Structure 1
Amino acid sequence: MKKIILLVLTITIFYSCKNSKKEESETKIQKKSFAQSKKFIKQYIEDSQKYWDKNDNENALKYDDSIKQTILNSFIKDYKFKSINKDIYNTAKRKKPLFLQVTASWCAACKFEVTALNKIVEKYSNQIDFVLLFWDTQSDLEKLAPDYNKDIVLVPSQEKHPDPHTIDISGFRHIMGYPTNYLITTDNEIINFSSGAKIPSTFTDKEGKEIIITKEQANKENYERLESEIQELIEKNSSNKV
């Protein structure tokens, strides 16, 4: 009799915890939806621009943190992205965490980062889904496709948005720069967000010292940053399942 009671209690506690976790997840989605963050991001960008216009870089850059905090821990809805091959990538049916990048053919940093990205995909495609959303349409993307690892899902825009920094693909709307990475768990939570990539360049720092970033150095830093993001996504996705 005692064994039966213990078994019943164990089952009850298990389902109670499971339901509690489900309710907690549903509450998070209701409280912080990525789709609802667009109006806040738009306002932050407009406010930031006012400082850029005054050459007040310090205050302008503060809005980057506000934008990031708005996006972090928000949840995406289900999207159906049509790839360059006409296949449908359904975020609701995926089994792996998602590395979602927003990019454009004319973006110099995006183009240079492809080498590092391809190596990352080759290493982690069995653990992560890689999807790239392009500002470019089908015809333009077909010319670029051979440059990318075959395990990357390449998604063109149905039409080019008049604003070069905006895309809207199957309801996923992005209004910031390129490349931008969204790290998304299998629970649809955005656990990190980043923008930009290194490119070979020469510039003068605040002290007047000339800084040279070589092609090799830029590739190395891009690879290390991307790998750090992927490892974070794998780790956090695993911890969310515990």
Structure 2
Amino acid sequence: MKIQLFVLAFVLFSTEFFGQENLDDRYYFTEALYENLSDYNKKADAAFRAKDFEKGRELFKEFTSEQLAGSYMNNFKFKDLRKRDVELYDFDKPTFLITYASWCIPAKGEIPAINELAKEYADKVDFIILFWDNRKTVKKLSDQFNSEISVVYVDESENNGGYVVKQLKHSLGLPTCFLLSEDKRITSIRRSIFSGPATDLETAYQKNYIALETSITKNLVPEYDEVYADNVIVD
């Protein structure tokens, strides 16, 4: 009888303990990277060594859409400009997350386009700019973004964000834009649109605005786009 009671107690304990450990059966971004990044890097490196840049772009699109999209972004931690810890899951709306650094020149017209879209979609989307820089530098750079955008950073020199840096920066480079659903599932990953040096600012802005809005309405708020279309008055 004592043995039976012990076995029953052990089974109940094991079910409760291990059940809690396995409550979250999501497939995470870091898992997808671990399983697929090495193969992608080999193919991409070969394409760029051969100067086949179109092939490189195709490989990135294939890798992100087939291997990473659908996984859930990990609850990475950053710092805000007040040096407070910020977790990705603190943002409860669908999320537009793009990574920058002071030494990385953004695409011409991209920041004005993001600012305009942040104003338009602020009630439906959280816009996050993640810098790989120190606070002093990020604070200066943050002036170019409007108040609807959350500016956060990871300072590599502090040696306390290595995990985030490895997964979000070193895996895909920068700038990289992640479009995340409300529950932080990756719906799309995209590169910036870099116009040629001869392209004027207004044209570059329009290209970025159209491309970014298309991504937002398609991946983050498709119902918003449908409702808007249904209410357009045609003369």
TM-score (norm 2): 0.72
Asked if the contact 1:178/1:196 (under 8 Å) is kept, the reply is no
Greater RCO structure (CA 8 Å; 6+ sep): 2
**In 2: Cα distance, 1:179 partner to 1:74 partner:** 20
- Aligned residue for 2:221, secondary structure, equals helix
Q: Which residue of 2 aligns with 1:52?
A: 48
**In 1: Cα distance, 2:85 partner to 2:97 partner:** 15
**In 2: Cα distance, 1:185 partner to 1:134 partner:** 21
Listed as ranges, the gaps of 5+ residues in structure 2 are 1-22, 226-235
Change in Cα spacing, 1:235 to 1:226, as seen in structure 2 (3 Å) is: same
1:130: Cα distance to partner?
Answer: 0.9
1:171: Cα distance to partner?
Answer: 7.7
1:126 aligns with 2:123: yes
Change in Cα spacing, 1:218 to 1:128, as seen in structure 2 (3 Å) is: same
Change in Cα spacing, 1:95 to 1:55, as seen in structure 2 (3 Å) is: closer
Partner of residue 231 from structure 1, selected from 191, 206, 217: 217
- Flag the structure with higher strand content: 1
Task: Look up the equivalent residue of 1:103 and give its one-letter code.
Answer: Y
**Of 123-132 and 54-63, the range deviating more from structure 2:** 54-63
Deviations 1:186-240 (A, max 9, x none): 12211111012233524xxxxxxxxxx32211101111111112212112799xx
- Aligned residue for 2:130, secondary structure, equals strand
Taking the TM superposition and a 5 Å limit, the aligned residue runs for 1:81-230 are 81-110=78-107, 112-159=109-156, 169=164, 173-174=168-169, 175-202=171-198, 213-230=199-216
- Percent pairwise identity: 24
CA RMSD of aligned residues (A): 2.8
Change in Cα spacing, 1:115 to 1:56, as seen in structure 2 (3 Å) is: closer
Deviations 1:15-43 (A, max 9, x none): xxxxxxxxxx955x1xx320112232243
Q: State how many pairs are aligned.
A: 196
Task: Look up the equivalent residue of 2:183 and give its one-letter code.
Answer: D
TM-score (norm 1): 0.70
Deviations 1:95-128 (A, max 9, x none): 3111111112222234641111111111111211
Partner of residue 38 from structure 1, selected from 33, 38, 42: 33
1:88: Cα distance to partner?
Answer: 3.8
Taking the TM superposition and a 5 Å limit, the aligned residue runs for 1:60-99 are 60-68=56-64, 69-99=66-96
Change in Cα spacing, 1:73 to 1:35, as seen in structure 2 (3 Å) is: same
